[in-house]
Structure formats: structure tokens, C-alpha cells
Structure 1
């Protein structure tokens, strides 16, 4: 690997754009590959990134490639496809998968890639696109010690809180635990806020009482910033992604033979919103859907609370 390794980044969407920008600002040469949305691609090209036509071309040119994709099938396609990473990979290539992915898929990919001399690292993310742009994301890294030491200066470009949680696969397992908690929080916050409104406790009162207590946290604050302030950009994480993460957590529990009643219950709310075609809504909007299921309009409940 060169003194300054050449970077690649596949998936420059909500999270990936900021991460890739910070890699560029860290002084690394960068190749990118986006999807249908050209805006982040053109933005990064304007900062000095070069665009690869295929994942294979990127693998031929890069020493370290980041993936920031929607799910495990997308990761598998990026790696195994006809013009995928493995088709152009050289021994010594490192792939850092920041996707929230299925650990079973991660382990199978890691074994296949290792046979070709390629190292897979799982480094899923915590926090939001705001922190991605600021370079202050959380990273949960699954890698052997030597690989972790090699890639940490790169991860430092886009993460402010880095935890080496274990070997390959451990990062994705930890991320599923994190998102199982977060998405269960969202379901509980939504359910409690709707119940409160139904029995005469306004969403504003719920925010004031819980927000000033030991039960408050950053996730609660962003959830209520949408619920009460109606800020649609409070937490730009889609219900479809949340649903996928909770499904993966439930699958991990099933594989481990562990009872998972809370995760199973939370999954139903996200599955419902996806089923009615609103998976593109953001997670704090879950409360609006719960309100409708109970014959209420959350925006109207907020207006009542202003009176």
C-alpha cells in the first residue's frame, strides 16, 4: 500500500457524501461511485474526487474502498457482481463496509474475499447526516488488530468516536443492537405520545416532562423536534431502513436462539408503514402513522397543545 493510499467510496448518499468529503479533506485521493442522484456525485467531483464507471474499475485503482449502501443484498452485489469489487481486486485491498448489514452475510463475504487476498472490515455508523458532514460520526469497527491500526487514520477523517469492538462481523452485530434499541425507542416514544394526546396530555407536555428528566437523550430530542416542532429534517433516517435494521436484529436473535419480544413488537410498526407505501418517511414520522391508526392527527394534537 502506498504511503498515501488511494481511497474509494461507493454510496455517496445522505451519510456517504459527508464521509467522502471528509476523506478528501483528509488529503486522500478519492474515487467515488454514486447511484441515481447526481447531486452528491457532482459536489464531490467539484472538490477533487474522480468518478469510477464500475465497482471493478474502482477496485483496480484503490487501496481502500468504503461501502455505504442500503442493505446486505446491495453490498453483496457491489462485491460479487460481474463488474463488482472482486472482479477487479488486487491482493491487499481493504473494503470498509459502513452499511448496517446482516452479520451472517458479512461473515460469508469476509471468507470469500479473504480467499482472494481482500480484507473486509465492518464499520457501521452511529448518528446522522449532520455528523457525517461534520466528520463526527460514531464508528463500531470489526477487524483484526493489524488491520484496525492500518485503517484508523482514514476512519479518523469521518468519525469522532471510534470503538474497535472485535473481529470482522462484530461491528455489524453491535450496530444491530444499537438500532434495535433506537428503533424500539422510536416506537415507544410514538406510542406514548399518541396515548398521551388521547388522554389529554399534549405532545408539548410529554416533551417538557421527559426532556427535562433522566429519561431524555439525543434520540428523544430529535424525535420530538419533528413531533412537536414539525421539523421534517430532524432525523433523516427512513422507516424502510429502520424496518430493515430491526428485521436483521430479529434474524440475529433467531440465529442465536434468543427470545426477542421487544424487537419483534417494534418490527410490526415499521412493517406496517412500509406496507402502506410510506417507507420513505423518516423515523420520527412513525408517530403520525400511529396517530392515524388511532383516529387522530398528530399535527392537530400539537396545535391543540399550543392553545
Structure 2
């Protein structure tokens, strides 16, 4: 594949993804979003730097976005010096966790200009990004997906087509609803256990290796038991964003989602109390403290 690849969003996930794109032999152009140190590392590995999305679109045929959410994606595409301003054919691969309605709107607006947007949000962790074993849920035209599949496979262990554009982001919201729901359940269960005198290590000794164990449980409890703050590097504010997107999506579908509302309220309370930049497993400490117990005693 001769396409030059652009990458914007070199955060915890994006840095490892971009490094794997380079490792697989693709020519890579990068732009700093918030993390200059990641960009410098990639330039040192052979990437080329640009300073605007338009310049990236002019230099590349495929651009991967891995930013916070829809407002950031929309700005990178539609601002005066954005990707669309280059006025040339382009494939944009949105690996962010975005709102499906925004994704579909952008795709429809870009299509007449020869720009194809596909949504390719991610499952798993920054560790998997570095190891090239992410899950990627891809929504979009089959031909466009086939064109970028070698790029996706450079950082993914599984590439899973989900249907038309927007369905990847829909599946990602559902996936994150499950994971943030687990976080809220674990936190409440740990709090009740602590209130009753049951230590987190005892709780873990029963669940670990049983039917309720899973990969998310293990990273969550690596913090709870070992106090490893980097065990699951995903901020509470991002969790709140994702379950808020789900709430908007459910409202648009005119369905009741009371469990989703309860999960969102758990995250909203922690973020409102000033813990937005703390990682998701720390929700357990917040819930425990709010009920007058500690998980470290």
C-alpha cells in the first residue's frame, strides 16, 4: 500500500498506534494535539511533522484521528485550516469515541468533496496499542475499509466490520457502557463489602478466576489491590463523556435506559467533585469515601 498515512491524537492510545504504523513500514505524518513528547518520539522514529490538519491532508491520502470525541473531530475536519480545506480526495479514519449522529453527518457532508469518513473506534488498553493487539470496530463502505485494513491491522489484533458508517461508534458506546457499568458495579460492591467488614482482597479472592472475572476486572483490581494508578489509564472525565454520548443516543432512539442513567450519575458525581482527571478504577475510592469507608484500611 503506497498511501502516506497521517495521524492526529498522540495520547495514551495514539502514541502506540502510530509507532506500530511506522514499524510496519508506512510513511507517517504526525501533528501534535496535546502531547509534544509523543510527537518528538515518533519524529525520532522516522515520522514527518506538520502543524495544521490542512497541511496533513495535503501530504497524505489517509488520516487517522484518535482524539477525545466529536467536538475535536469536527474541529479538525471543518475548521478553516482543517482536513477538508485541502480540497482533495482523502480517507479519514476516526478512531475516537464519537457520537454516531455527528459521524454520520460528517460523512454525508464530506462525500460530495471526495472525502470518505469511516469510524474505527478502539477496544482494549494503551498496552495493547503498543503491542498491536487492539480491537477495532469499523463502520463504513467495504471498499474504504479494505483500503485501510493494512493500516488498522498494524495496531489491531482484531478488525471487526460493524456495518455502515456510524455503526462502529454505536458499538463503541455500547462497549464502553459495559465497561463503565462494570466500574460502577465494582465500586458499589466494594463499598458495601467494606461497610460490612469485607476486605477488597477477600472480595478479589472470590471473584478472580471465577465466572465474573474478565480483562476489565483485572485491570480495575490491579489498582484496587495493588494501588497501581497506571493499571487502567482512562480518565473518569472520558468515561463520563462516553456514557453521556450513550444517554443522548438512547434519547434519540426514544428508549428508556435507567441503568445507563445510574452509571452516568456515578461518573458525574466523581467528576463534579473534582476527580475528572483521575483514572476509572479510582471511582471505587470515591464511592467508598462518599459512604464513610476506605478500601485501603
Between the aligned partners of 1:72 and 1:276, the Cα distance in structure 2 is: 25
Q: Deviation digits for residues 26-70 of structure 1, max 9, x if unmatched?
A: 111110011232110110000000111100000001000000000
Distance of 1:236 and 1:85 partners within structure 2: 29
- Which of 247, 250, 253 in structure 1 is aligned with 2:247? 250
CA distance in 1, matches of 2:254, 2:220: 32
Residue 264 (structure 1) aligns with: 261
In structure 2, the residue matched to 1:155 is 152
User: Which residue of structure 1 lines up, in the alignment, with residue 62 of structure 2?
Assistant: 64
* CA shift for structure 1 position 259: 1.1
Residue 79 (structure 1) aligned with residue 55 (structure 2): no
Bigger mean CA offset, 33-42 vs 196-205:
33-42
Partner of 1:224: 221
**Contact 2:10-2:34 at 8 Å conserved across structures:** no
**1:5 and 2:3 correspond:** yes
**Are the aligned partners of 2:104 and 2:166 in contact in 1 as well (CA < 8 Å)?**
yes
Query: Would you say how many aligned residue pairs link Structure 1 and Structure 2?
Result: 297
The answer to whether the 8 A contact 2:100-2:166 is kept is yes
Match of 1:41 in 2: 39
Match of 1:55 in 2: 53
Q: For residues 255 and 77 of structure 1, what CA distance do their matches in structure 2 show?
A: 23
Q: Are 1:192 and 2:185 an aligned pair?
A: no
What is the rounded CA distance, in whole Å, between the counterparts of 2:271 and 2:198 in structure 1?
29
Q: Is contact 1:13-1:34 (8 Å) kept?
A: no
Q: Structure 2 unaligned segments of length 5 or more: list them.
A: none
Residues 11 and 68 of structure 1 are in contact (CA less than 8 Å); yes or no, is this contact kept in structure 2? Answer: yes
* Structure 1 residue 25, shift from structure 2 partner: 0.8
Q: Greater CA deviation, 254-263 or 30-39?
A: 30-39
Name 1:285's counterpart in structure 2: 282
The superposition leaves residues 179-233 of structure 1 with CA deviations (integer Å, 9 ceiling, x where unpaired) of: 0111001000010011101101110011110113111101111111101110111
Q: Distance between the aligned counterparts of 2:252 and 2:116, measured in 1?
A: 25
Corresponding position of 2:109: 112
Aligned to 1:305: none
**Partner-residue secondary structure (3-state), 1:277:** helix
* Shift, 1:299, TM fit: 2.0
**1:206 is aligned to 2:203:** yes
Give the 3-state SS of the residue equivalent to 2:93 in structure 1: strand
Counterpart of 2:132 (choices 131, 135, 140) is 135
Secondary structure in 2 matching 1:259: coil
Distance in 2, Cα, partners of 1:158 & 1:236 = 18
- Whole-Å separation in 2 of the counterparts to 1:186 and 1:89: 44
Give the aligned partner of residue 168 of structure 2. Answer: 171
Separation of aligned partners in 1, 2:161 and 2:110: 21
Deviation of 1:90 after TM superposition, in Å, equals 0.7
Q: TM-score, normalised by structure 2?
A: 0.98
Aligned CA RMSD, in angstroms, stands at 0.9
What's the counterpart of residue 19 of structure 2?
Answer: 21
Specify the SS of the correspondent of 2:226.
coil
List alignment gaps of at least 5 residues for structure 1: 301-307
